[in-house]
Structure 1
Amino acid sequence: MNAPAKPLTRAESQALSAPFVIEDQEVVRKIARLADERGTPMHEIVQLAVDDYLRRHELRGKASEKLQKIWDEHPMPLPTGLKADKRFYDSLNDEL
């Protein structure tokens, strides 16, 4: 038995109610150029790009969770309000 379909979000409903139009001519040219080079329909180029973006976005979310855990365990010190002395730090590396 199939699971019930997940309800559409507001944005999905709005997007599916009208055709998707890209009004930026430069973006359309880039999609067309890729489609010509690869011999792939333009809608597949867009689909591949969106799939790739979603995959990278999901990976970034997982990395952020790991970083957030590290930051929670090892917080940065509070700012002192003091200004850094560039000449002092340059002198440490003999950069004067």
Structure 2
Amino acid sequence: MALSIRDRETDEAVRRLARLKQKGLTETIREAVENELKRVQGGTPLVKRIEALHRELEKYPRTGMKADKAFFDSLNDE
């Protein structure tokens, strides 16, 4: 099977990535496509990730302290 890339910018991007990874063009394209497929198909949606972070943060007790200018100045010994 053949894949013909007629777009100069795409061709250059693939070649740059292949050089950086020190791999052939076919392997570079395959890895890039497989990684993108995993990201699109198997990834957790952003909303779900944010909800999980929110649940994790809710486990910590509220101190009532405010992160105002004085707080940040104290971190820098000002």
TM-score (norm 1): 0.42
What is the count of residue pairs matched by the alignment? 47
Moved over 6 A (4+): none
Greater RCO (Cα-Cα under 8 Å, separation 6 or more) = 2
Structure 2 unaligned segments of length 5 or more: list them.
49-78
Structure 1 unaligned segments of length 5 or more: list them.
1-15, 67-96
Q: 1:73-88 counterparts in 2 under 5 A?
A: none
- 1:32-91 residue CA offsets vs partner (Å, 9 max, x unmatched): 11111221001111001100111011125x649x7xxxxxxxxxxxxxxxxxxxxxxxxx
Q: 1:15-34 counterparts in 2 under 5 A?
A: 16=1, 19-34=2-17
| 1:59 partnered with 2:39 | no
TM-score (norm 2): 0.51
Amino acid at match of 2:17: L
Backbone CA RMSD of aligned residues: 2.1
